[in-house]
Structures are given as structure tokens and as C-alpha cells.
Amino acid sequence: MKFLEELGIKAVNPGISTGTKWMQGSGDVASFSPVDGLLIGRVGMAGKHEYEEVMQTATRAFEQWRTVPAPRRGEVVRQIGAALRAKKQALGSLVSYEMGKSLQEGLGEVQEMIDICDFAVGLSRQLYGLSMHSERPSHRMYEQWHPLGIVGIISAFNFPVAVWSWNAMLAMVCGNVCVWKPSEKTPLSAIACQHIVAEVLERNGVPEGVLCLINGGHETGELLAADHRVPLVSATGSTRMGKAVAVTVAARLGRCLLELGGNNAIIISRDADLDMALVGSLFGAVGTAGQRCTTTRRLIIHESVYESFKAKLVKAYGQLRIGNPLDESNHVGPLIDQAAVDSYLGAINACKAQGGRFIVEGGVLSGPGYESECYVQPCIAEVEQDYPIVHTETFAPILYLMKYSTLEEAIAIQNNVPQGLSSAIMTLNLREAELFLSAAGSDCGIANVNIGTSGAEIGGAFGGEKETGGGRESGSDAWKNYMRRQTNTINYGTQLPLAQGIKFDV
């Protein structure tokens, strides 16, 4: 495929890089496309020796990079954004082919990378601190922010490039260096990104080790989490994985930035614009074949509009086009692999066993147009909110419907799950909207009105509460995660008074 050649992807690819220098690795892994089941390429995987070489290079790079003025660091990120613009079509196609999301979503993911570069460039001139009045005469107090050092980035398969950029571009302008451990399921997308940024790094004389890539298995992630040289580990993935990372990092008093599971709901009010609600619910539920942490997994629908909205939804599901995601006429591509298909089928069986009634049946799709065994039918089940499966995140296009009578009841149902990432309400009633956004409303990190649960913009901080991990990435003041705060007091007088009026005469 032409886009593979354009991105420098070969049949066998070195998988470890310190920026512009590549290493093959101690072993390798094969990347198969869920689109057609074909082998895309093999990737070298890091062992302990390669890991140590990368970490030593990154440590040396930080000593230089932290002294580069922040606007100059921002200029390098600006050029990375320009390089991504030039490769948007090719990289978006690879993301779609290796991961299975629709081409439009693959291109959208690359656009997120471009957008975060733009955001980071502006941020490079705004790494501000506060100035405070001192209680002591002839004293001035202020705070400033300094880079942390090495930022370890562990990313997931469902957003194989965008989440790395959220972390790396902000960390770079803040003066940090980055070591990226991508998902073993999408290693080639990461390699393509490294090829793109390597040209920019070399052109600007950026120290070797500022942006590093380590393809490896879970052992590599464990090394990052346990490494005292890594003050911050940003990990995206399952709640189970996040808990393991958190324990390891906490044991050495390091910092974690965790973006974990979601079990997101849309409340559909009797005062909703049902056509608008349909669009938000449909894309939220089936986008990326249900493999987003912000996927809509639950619809909580007012009893007065339940039947009419259900009919609209069933009709819309009947019009979905499922197939090769590189064909832009298709809405839904495949799941990532056979393990994901097994999880999907297991959740369907569990839902039925617990009493769920499917109004759109699920199942594995086969025949013409389905070139692998990873294509499944997005499905809908009517459930009760206390079914155990409803409280579980299944990374697949399964949508649960339930009724409510009062908004307070709907909010309680929405909040009554372990996860707390994204949420939404569809209503034209101002009082309902404001209650949903109040302290008595949604307990999620993201709460939307009249849009769905997925499709966050980079300008706002992204992340959630409870078992979602509490992390915040991307916009707003998320940059502070990548820096350490220092409080400074300057005495410009001729005396040395003590705080709190303490006397210490000698």
C-alpha cells in the first residue's frame, strides 16, 4: 500500500529509537491488520539492554533540553505539527488500517495531533507562575515551574498516535524529554510517527534522546513504571493496567497520570431534540466500533419518549454500513483482534443471562465485504441498571437502554458505575442542563449538554474520576502535570525578619 511506503514502513522495522537513531531490538512482534487479517510488518521489540540504552540517552538529553528557551522548544513543536500536516492522509490511513477505525476517524486522530501542536506552541510562551505579596517588608514571593525530566508515555491501541502527542508535545515545550511505549497491537503507527518527527529533530539540532520510542511488551511498561529516573508515567489503558502502574509508581513516590476505563451514559430528556440525540447516541455508540474510552455504552431515556426514541435508534442501526474502514462509505470497521471479539461475545451472553433483551442482535459478521473475522454487528439491549454487565466496560459496540422518570433518578443511574469519564444530557430545558452540570449532577470528568460523550476537543482538559484514574491531559492547565512547582522568596532589604513574627535575636 502506498501509504506504508510513504511513511517508511517496511516488512521488518526496527522498533526502538532515541530520536534519529534506531535499534532493531532483542525480539520482534508481528502487526496484523484487523481490516483484512494480513501481515503489515514485523517490529523489533526492546529487551533490557535496549531499554537501558534509551534511558541513558534520554537522561543526557534532558540536561540540555531543559536549558533551551521555551519559545524555541515551541518552534520545534510547530515544525512537528507542519510535518504531521504534510503526512496527514498517509498517517490517518495507517491508523485506520492497523487499528481498524474508519478512515475519517483515522484522519481525525491525526488532526488532533496537529491541533495539540498548535496549542503547545502558544503554551510555550505562557508557562506562567503567580506573584504573591509577602507579609515581611522588602520581600517578594513568586512561583515558577520547572520541567520534571523523563516523562514515560504508555499508550493504548484505540488511539495509537493522538494520546502520545497530547503528552509528548506538552511535555516537550515544558522542557521534558519523552520515552514512548506504544501498544503492542499498533506498533507501526508509532514507528511512522517517529519517522516523521525524526526529520524535524535532526533539522533543528535537537539533542538525541528528547523524543524516544520503545516498542516492547508489558515487561517494558513495568520497567518504565518502576524506574526512578522517570518522575512521571502517563498511562492510558484498562483500569486493571492502571491500578498495576499506580501501585508500582507510588511505591517509589513517583507521579502518575492515568487515563483508564469509561462506562459513559447519555441521559435523553423528555425535553430533548430527539433528532439531535439520535446523532449523538449513534456516533457515540458505534464510532471506532465501540473501542473508545468515551464510547456511549448506556442510554438513560425518559419514559415518555422511550418507545419513540428506541424506534428511531433501531431504524438507524439498520442503516449502518459495516466493512473495510478505508472505504469512506462505511461507518463501522472491525474490532482490533480476536480477543476483542471474544470479549464482545462474552458480554452479549452475560447480558442475556442476566435478563437483558436484545432489540438489535449482535454477532460476528462473515461473507463478502468482511475480510477478517473481526467484524461484528453493533447491538442494542434493553436492561435494568442493576445488571452487573451494565457496570462493566466492554470495549465493543454494545449499547444498553434503560428508562427513568425523574432527572434525579437518571443522574443517580448514570453515576452508579465504577467509572467516571464522560457523560452527556440531551435536553432543551435550561434547569435540567444546569442541574446536570452542578455538584449534584454528573460525577464524571467530562459532562456535556446536547452533544455526545465522545469527540473531546484538545482545548479542554481530558480525563475522568473514580476508576478512570483522575488524570487530565491535553488542554486547559494540564501542562502543570509535566512540571514541578517552585516557590521563591526574595529579600531585597537590609534586615532578615522571620515569618509569622517569630523573634530570633542573637
Residue 106 has pLDDT above 80, yes or no: yes
Dist. CA 478–CA 393, nearest whole Å: 26
Quickly count: other Cβ atoms within 10 Å of residue 255's Cβ.
16
Per-residue pLDDT reduced to its tens digit, 271-316? 999 999 999 999 999 999 999 999 999 999 999 999 999 999 999 9
pLDDT for 336 equals: 98
Region for residue 263 given its phi and psi (left: phi exceeds 0; alpha: psi -120 to 50; beta: otherwise): beta
Per-residue pLDDT reduced to its tens digit, 451-485? 999 988 999 999 999 999 999 999 999 999 999 99
Dist. CA 294–CA 423, nearest whole Å: 8
The stretch 42-70 carries a mean pLDDT of: 98
3-state secondary structure of 257: strand
491 contacts: CB under 8 Å, gap ≥ 6: 136, 138, 139
pLDDT for 63 equals: 98
The whole-chain average pLDDT of the chain stands at 97
Residue 506 has pLDDT above 90, yes or no: no
pLDDT for 184 equals: 97
pLDDT for 505 equals: 80
Domain boundaries, the chain: 14-260+469-486, 264-449
pLDDT band at residue 504 under the 50/70/90 scheme: confident
Per-residue pLDDT reduced to its tens digit, 64-104? 999 999 999 999 999 999 999 999 999 999 999 999 999 99
pLDDT for 82 equals: 98
pLDDT band at residue 348 under the 50/70/90 scheme: very high
- What CATH homologous superfamily does 264-449 map to? Aldehyde Dehydrogenase; Chain A, domain 2 (3.40.309.10)
User: For this structure, is 259 an active site residue?
Assistant: yes
Orientation angle between helical segments 274-286 and 306-317, nearest 10 degrees: 50
Residues forming beta bridges with residue 403, ordered by sequence position? 301
pLDDT band at residue 342 under the 50/70/90 scheme: very high
- Return the percentage of the chain with pLDDT > 90, whole number: 97
pLDDT for 51 equals: 98
Residue 330 has pLDDT above 90, yes or no: yes
Strand order in the sheet with 398-404: 357-360, 379-382, 398-404, 296-302, 264-268, 422-426, 446-449
What is the reported pTM?
0.97
Per-residue pLDDT reduced to its tens digit, 387-409? 999 999 999 999 999 999 999 99
Question: Which of the residues 53, 105, 208, 259 is marked catalytic?
Answer: 259
Contacts 24+ apart (CB under 8 A), 496-500: 497/136, 497/137, 497/139, 498/136, 499/135, 499/136
Range 101-136 burial, b when 16+ CB lie within 10 A, else e: bbbebbbbbbbbbbbbbebbbebbeebeeeeeeeeb
pLDDT for 296 equals: 98
Same fold, 14-260+469-486 and 264-449: no
C-alpha cell at 419: 467509572
Quickly count: other Cβ atoms within 10 Å of residue 143's Cβ.
13
The stretch 427-452 carries a mean pLDDT of: 98
C-alpha cell at 497: 525578619
pLDDT for 235 equals: 98
14-260+469-486 domain in CATH 3.20.20.10?
A: no
pLDDT for 214 equals: 98
pLDDT for 304 equals: 98
Region for residue 209 given its phi and psi (left: phi exceeds 0; alpha: psi -120 to 50; beta: otherwise): left
Per-residue pLDDT reduced to its tens digit, 134-174? 999 999 999 999 999 999 999 999 999 999 999 999 999 99
CA distances from 134 to 122, 141, 145, 296 (A): 31, 6, 19, 50
The stretches of 66-126 forming alpha helices (DSSP H) are: 70-86, 88-99, 103-123
Name the nearest CA neighbour of 151 among 272, 70, 257.
257
Per-residue pLDDT reduced to its tens digit, 218-274? 999 999 999 999 999 999 999 999 999 999 999 999 999 999 999 999 999 999 999
Length of the chain in terms of residues written: 506
